[in-house]
Amino acid sequence: MSLNDDFSSGSNSGVRGWVSVEVTAPGSEPEVLLADTSEPLLTLAESVGIRAPSECRRGNCLSCAARLAPGSSWNYETAADTFLCAEARDAGFILTCCTRAVGPGLKIELEQQAEAFQIQFYERFAKAREEGFHASLREMTAYNERHPDEWIKRTEESLSAAASSSSAEDSDLDVESDGEEERGGR
């Protein structure tokens, strides 16, 4: 796939036009640039000398991730097959190598790859882990409901094991405190 290929099939996909886009690089003031609607935003940034990170330039590595700035429109089109997850896209992240402006009001903040990674990997995995935990809990509850006798027996065994281990701990504590009293009494 070349840089400009395979943008998703929006109504004006691939049509050349010009719109202004506000681009903010880290540590810099926002710049309003005139964007070619057939070119990726990464190319736009590079054309004015902004050195934005990029590795694959195919939507796979997330190194070019940017984020819509507060007050931005969502007037962009992006390639259909990028690696960016729906959660990150919904949170306003875009991959500038595969995204172009298609209407007014777009404002982007460059170099948001760490934040995009956070959502793409850590938050999604944490959510999946939590969902997995709740699914096993639901499964276990359903099993217990189907086998109440077994559940009661298991619960009683656990309670009695907990009670005997707690009384064993109490007697250990008694022995220790007796020993201390004896030592203290001497």
Please report, as ranges, the residues that interact with ligand FES according to CB under 6 A. 54-57, 59-64, 95, 97
User: What's the length of the chain?
Assistant: 186
Least CB distance from residue 13 to ligand FES, whole Å?
19
- Compute the least distance from the CB of residue 58 to ligand FES, in Å: 6
Nearest to residue 97, comparing CAs of 75, 69, 78, 73? 78
In the beta sheet, which residues pair with residue 95? Answer: 65
Comparing CB distances to ligand FES, the nearer of 36 and 144 is: 36
* Smallest separation (angstroms) from ligand FES to the CB of 62: 5
User: What is the smallest separation between the CB atom of 26 and ligand FES, expressed in angstroms?
Assistant: 17
* Alpha-carbon torsion (10, 14, 20, 24), positive or negative: positive
Q: How far is the CB of 164 from ligand FES (least distance, A)?
A: 59
Nearer to ligand FES, 56 or 91 (CB): 56
Cβ closest to ligand FES, residue 97 vs residue 101: 97
Q: Dihedral through CA 157, CA 163, CA 168, CA 170, nearest 10?
A: 170
Tokens 């220790």, located at residue: 176
Angle between helix 148-185 and 124-146 (nearest 10): 110
Q: How open is the CA angle 113-117-120, to the nearest 5 degrees?
A: 135
Q: Which of residues 53 and 105 has its CB atom nearest to ligand FES in the complex?
A: 53
- Cβ closer to ligand FES: 23 or 95? 95
Under DSSP, the state recorded for 120 is I
